[in-house]
A and B are shown apart, each in its own frame.
Chain A
């Protein structure tokens, strides 16, 4: 039972990581730095809460959240693809923009500086009796379309990259855009497609956060976008390894939460794990991480 609870909680914590990391992987493999995952998630979480609140439907929330994520991704694409702006600068600015706009519209829409009202979520199967805590209830909490999407996201992205013509083009454009261009493949277009798809995938992570907690709270992503980016790098830009990294980071968090009472390790040290592992991976101390060659480079 403890083990089951551990696995379920790990999966629930991993869901936003898996979704955001799949978007990050897609974007980075196309050559666009995914520093914006945090901002995309935050934007979509807010839009999801907004939609779910006004329509009183999680599905409308989902649609609004994805739309918000795609708009944020489009802004990133315009700046870094169309105008060839520095992707690091734009990425950081979009994260700041997401914090600012969500706060601004939180005031405008809900007249609050901290959180939205309660919104409906995808909790059809959880028993209303809180604290019942049976095995079935624990498992039922996984019957959430977004948890399922999280489990499928990286396998699907991996399959797409390996098996679709578009996947081949994305890999080519992230590695050597001028080669793709010389064959009549428009690198800018491929990057646009990849970034918008990445925005949509990542936004599911934001939607999950808002609907799972039944509200939007200020800066509720709290660095999850950066943990997802860390997973992409620690996973060496390979889908299976990225998925393992996401689950690993989530498992560490779960362990920390479940052992909190014992005071074995300060929570701050558990927080550091993903970031430290990423630094170690970049330094090449254990299996060097090699980014796509054209990552961050604008196309002609």
Chain B
């Protein structure tokens, strides 16, 4: 009975807000250490992101990938599992999409080629997610360690495949896909010209909605959340906990894998070594700040995409690496403030 009742809506969002404030303070210190004015830097950051169509396009592009990896982490956490393997899953998804796009003839109509490549991306990520899922379900192996270690294995394997079999000339990428490319936003609104933003963002929004529906409206979601909250009660309730965990990590892998669509089908049209770099860990930040909620994840993804793109915008006056620091500070601050805020809220209820 010592469990605290989960915080109210306000409490849920208070912690991320405090975390952002802490990050802003740290940012000020870094900016001052470089001899610049924080006000100038933040203004430049906003202008370079939301202030023009190109910057906004870049933000939307980055937010699309982060929505997928954020959902991959959030779905795992809802099942009580920490999926740190989103980076490897994303890379595998991108690679699978590129393979599918290379395998089909150039004349394949888009309505066939695009779904084929999208399904391939989900399967590629799903297979990578299924490994820790199976080891967790079968042997109880810590998914934290397995997903971390598997990232290295998957990336090394893909690097080898590209280097040994598929690369173009002196590059680290595959040849461009024959079919399956999706339109850029610039094709619809020319103001976005030059930005990587593409229609995969629609897939991201639909996927977030689908995850929400799955978690809260279906029996599988009921089973998944029960497993995450109280595995013993889930087992008592006739839920096959091992199977649910396997399914959750496989689905999480598929979600991260779908993120590969954004790069391969929407932007570069080929798989390139290192394209997923950092997106997995940022997905953890996105899930945390988004409170593991399918509605919160895209918002948090926009936030981190803004910070990331903003780094490039201010690079002329402060090193863009500042935003890497800020991102890490946000994660630590959220991790610290969430339990703290809940404790204070509980104390507040007692006094009230």
Q: Interface on A for B, CB 8 Å cutoff?
A: 33, 35, 75, 79, 83-86, 88-90, 92-97, 99-101, 103-104, 107-108, 113, 223, 226, 229-230, 233, 266, 268-269, 271-272, 275-276, 278-279, 282-284, 288, 291
Closest residue to B329 on the A side, CB-wise? A97
**B107 interface residue per 8 A CB criterion:** no
Given contacts A226-B152, A272-B157, contact A104 B332 (CB under 8 A): no
Interchain CB contact (< 8 A) of B153 among A79, A83, A275: A275
Q: Interface on B for A, CB 8 Å cutoff?
A: 30, 33-34, 82, 84, 135, 138-139, 141-142, 144-146, 148-150, 152-153, 156-157, 159-160, 163-164, 281, 284-285, 288, 319, 321-329, 331-332, 334-336, 338-340
Q: Which A residues touch B339, using CB under 8 A? A: 83-85
Q: Which B residues touch A95, using CB under 8 A? A: 281
Docked-complex contact A93 and B324, CB < 8 angstroms: no
Q: Which B residues touch A272, using CB under 8 A? A: 152-153, 156-157
Interchain CB contact (< 8 A) of B148 among A86, A100, A226: A226
Give CA–CA (A266, B159) in the complex, Å.
11
Can you list 16 A-B contacts with CB-CB less than 8 angstroms, sorted by A residue number? A75-B332, A79-B335, A83-B339, A85-B338, A88-B144, A92-B281, A93-B331, A100-B321, A100-B324, A100-B327, A108-B319, A226-B148, A226-B152, A269-B156, A275-B149, A282-B141
CB distance from A258 to the nearest CB of B (A): 20
Q: Which B residues touch A223, using CB under 8 A? A: 152
Give CA–CA (A90, B84) in the complex, Å.
13
Docked-complex contact B288 and A89, CB < 8 angstroms: yes
Q: Which A residues touch B153, using CB under 8 A? A: 272, 275-276, 279
Docked-complex contact B284 and A107, CB < 8 angstroms: no
A-B CB proximity, top 3 nearest:
A100-B324, A97-B328, A93-B331
Docked-complex contact A85 and B332, CB < 8 angstroms: yes
Docked-complex contact A85 and B336, CB < 8 angstroms: yes
Docked-complex contact B340 and A83, CB < 8 angstroms: yes
Give CA–CA (A97, B330) in the complex, Å.
10
Q: Which B residues touch A84, using CB under 8 A? A: 339
Q: Could you tell me the dominant secondary structure of chain B's interface residues?
A: helix
Q: Which B residues touch A278, using CB under 8 A? A: 145, 149
Docked-complex contact B324 and A92, CB < 8 angstroms: no
Docked-complex contact B146 and A266, CB < 8 angstroms: no
Give CA–CA (A199, B324) in the complex, Å.
22
Give CA–CA (A223, B148) in the complex, Å.
11
Docked-complex contact A93 and B328, CB < 8 angstroms: yes
Given contacts A88-B82, A92-B281, contact A104 B30 (CB under 8 A): yes
Closest residue to A107 on the B side, CB-wise? B319
Given contacts A88-B82, A278-B149, A279-B146, contact A103 B331 (CB under 8 A): no
Q: Which B residues touch A99, using CB under 8 A? A: 324
Q: Which A residues touch B288, using CB under 8 A? A: 89
Q: Which B residues touch A276, using CB under 8 A? A: 149, 153
Give CA–CA (A98, B338) in the complex, Å.
23
Docked-complex contact B336 and A79, CB < 8 angstroms: yes
Q: Which B residues touch A94, using CB under 8 A? A: 328, 332
CB distance from B259 to the nearest CB of A (A): 18
CB distance from A216 to the nearest CB of B (A): 14
Docked-complex contact B34 and A282, CB < 8 angstroms: no
Give CA–CA (A93, B329) in the complex, Å.
7
Closest residue to A295 on the B side, CB-wise? B142
Interchain CB contact (< 8 A) of A108 among B33, B323, B329: B33
Q: Which B residues touch A35, using CB under 8 A? A: 144, 148
Docked-complex contact B150 and A88, CB < 8 angstroms: no
CB distance from A269 to the nearest CB of B (A): 7
